[in-house]
Amino acid sequence: MWKLHPLNFGEWPDFELSRFLYNKGFGQKIRAIATGFLAVDGDRAVLIDAGIYDEERALADHDQRVVNTGAGRVRAALAEYDIEPEDITDVVLTHLHWDHAANVPLFTRAQVHVQAAEIEYAEDPLPPHQVSFDHGLSQPAPWTLVRDRINVLDGDTELAPGLSTFHLPGHTPGSQGVKVCTELRSYLLAGDNVDLQANWDGDEHLRHRPWMVYVDMRDYWASLMRMESLADVIVPSHDPNVFEREVW
pLDDT attached to residue 248: 78
- Whose CA is closest to 140, among 105, 90, 95? 105
Element (H, E) at 5: strand 3-16
Rounded Cα gap, residues 183 and 9, in angstroms: 26
Phi, psi angle pair for 159, to nearest 5°: -85, -30
Rounded Cα gap, residues 196 and 26, in angstroms: 16
Largest CA distance in the chain: 47
pLDDT attached to residue 12: 98
**Containing structural domain, residue 117:** 3-243
pTM over 0.95: yes
CATH assignment at residue 221:
3.60.15.10
Domain membership flag for residue 138: yes
For residue 60, the one-letter residue type is A
- Whose CA is closest to 88, among 97, 96, 79? 79
CA distances for 217 relative to 145, 165, 178, 206, 214, angstroms: 31, 21, 21, 14, 7
Domain membership flag for residue 248: no
Domain total of the chain: 1
* pLDDT tens per residue, range 71-100: 999 999 999 999 999 999 999 999 999 999
Rounded Cα gap, residues 158 and 128, in angstroms: 33
Domain membership flag for residue 54: yes
Rounded Cα gap, residues 183 and 91, in angstroms: 22
pLDDT attached to residue 138: 86
Q: Write out residues in the chain with pLDDT < 50, as ranges.
A: none
Rounded Cα gap, residues 34 and 75, in angstroms: 14
pLDDT attached to residue 247: 66
Q: Which residues pair with 21 in a beta bridge?
A: none
